[in-house]
Structure 1
Amino acid sequence: MGERELELRELLIKGASGFGVELDNEKVDKFFTYMGVLKEWNEKMNLTAIEDEEEIILKHFIDSISICPIIKDRKSTLIDVGTGAGFPGIPVKIVFPELKVKLLDSLEKRTKFLDEVINILNLEEISSVHSRAEDKGLDPDYREKYDISTARAVANLPVLLEYCLPFVKVGGYFIAMKGSNTEEIENSKKALDILGGKIEDVLEFNLPFSDIKRNVVIVKKFRQTPTKYPRKSGKPSKNPLI
């Protein structure tokens, strides 16, 4: 193992420990294998604009790991909505192997990549599904079946709430990973009221070793989402609940 890789492994281990996550060698190996597959596939299709290894570790891996302290029950069911290249779903699964994880994405090419990562990393009780959130949110096999839903900067918070809260069981949580824009939280009151959620906490922090600001919004679901939500494809983003 070269000096550069040792430094990168140290960066990942230290960054994760900043969020109370201790990574053993096996888990670190999985992250590095994941990074290798991501870089290889990224040459064929656009999975991420971030190509530098240090940045992948910081902006994808450590950023995803930042939500691990929120997940109290390691045997929870989690759906990652608009997962893209698998963030935060796959890193969280590597950290907590007992979690049952579903990776939802609207692009079939991406779900093929996710299947490849799952296969190469030999991960169990995790699978991808190719669908839009608006469609799967109405599917009885998915609706209100998850303890946790997550999404990382896919859309504005009112839109995200309509995409993600329908998947969550009453008493469960939606974890929204956002940048530094807190205006969205103010604009979400109507969506929260309609969809049956309330903001329990907003965690503000900088990513380790950087001045990159992050907000994680924790929404608890306190009652069922009315059956007409999510609205049909395209409606939530064109006409958000504001």
Structure 2
Amino acid sequence: MLPDFEISCEKFSQCGIELSREAYEKFDIYAKFLVEYNKKVNLTAITEPTEILCKHFIDSACLLKYVDIKPESTLIDVGTGAGFPSIPLKILRPDIKLTLLDSLNKRIDFLKQLCDKLDIHADFIHGRAEDFSKMPEYREQFDYSCARAVANLSTLSELCIPFVKVGGSFISMKGPSEDVSRGTNAIELLGGKIEDITDYSLFDEQRRIITVKKISQTPIKYPRNSAQIKKKEL
């Protein structure tokens, strides 16, 4: 399914990331199952092998290049969809303790089957971030939360920061046009502070990673319910 091992290694290497034979084999299983499952459940518009390699797997893996994820960290991927960026991270860093959250059960079903095929352990949450981040067993329980999503930074921050413990980080993977200033007020209200903004090239496309440090507890009134979030940004 994927380009052969040598070609895939070269693609990873161009982005400064090492690819082992074991990781390659897991990515190949991932790609095959993604394309097969995508025929019955819409998971991605990207189904060409080289594009899967570059725009899903390497794009996700770049988070490890630009953010220092500590060993044995807990990470929740909010609105994970088909498992990006977190499952590629888990393939490359098996020590990460992973939780996958998505509001659509058909995606959670795909992720459970995928993790079985990859022999990966993860916890799964079917539900909305604004509901589960209010529960004591999830609120401020993670070293990191991450999202590779189209929502603006203000909305993503309200959904993701409440999951992060003080001292941890929220990592947002965005395009280069993201207006960071639009999320600054929300980040401060939620107990965060922008720690780093990294702009980089993924082959011929520009990317941006925004890292938000959690410096104080999130006020209990956040996140608001979904209707309030949609009506007005923080």
Q: In the aligned structure 2, how far is the partner of 1:129 from the partner of 1:197?
A: 24
Q: In the aligned structure 2, how far is the partner of 1:18 from the partner of 1:196?
A: 37
Contact 2:3 2:50 in 1 (8 A): no
Pairwise CA distance, 1:179: 0.8
Rate the CA distance shift 1:205–1:11 in 2: closer, same or farther, 3 A.
Answer: farther
Residue of 193, 199, 217 corresponding to 1:198? 193
Pairwise CA distance, 1:51: 1.1
Secondary structure at 1:86 match in 2: coil
Pairwise CA distance, 1:239: 1.4
Residue of 56, 60, 64 corresponding to 2:52? 56
Rate the CA distance shift 1:58–1:5 in 2: closer, same or farther, 3 A.
Answer: closer
1:219 maps to amino acid: V
Q: In the aligned structure 2, how far is the partner of 1:38 from the partner of 1:237?
A: 31
Rate the CA distance shift 1:200–1:40 in 2: closer, same or farther, 3 A.
Answer: same
Aligned pairs for 1:29-178 within 5 A = 29-69=25-65, 70-124=67-121, 126-178=122-174
- The runs of 5 or more residues in structure 2 that have no matched partner are none
Aligned pairs for 1:19-34 within 5 A = 19-34=15-30
Match of 1:207 in 2: 202
- TM-score, normalising length: structure 1: 0.92
1:221 maps to amino acid: K
Match of 1:234 in 2: 227
Q: In the aligned structure 2, how far is the partner of 1:5 from the partner of 1:189?
A: 41
Q: In the aligned structure 2, how far is the partner of 1:14 from the partner of 1:170?
A: 38
Match of 2:3 in 1: 5
- The runs of 5 or more residues in structure 1 that have no matched partner are none
Contact 1:74 1:99 in 2 (8 A): yes
Pairwise CA distance, 1:232: 1.1
Pairwise CA distance, 1:164: 0.2
Question: What CA deviation, in whole Å up to 9, does each residue of 1:10-36 have, x standing for no partner?
Answer: 343233334543221111000000001
Q: How many residues align?
A: 233
Contact 2:130 2:223 in 1 (8 A): yes
Rate the CA distance shift 1:224–1:35 in 2: closer, same or farther, 3 A.
Answer: same
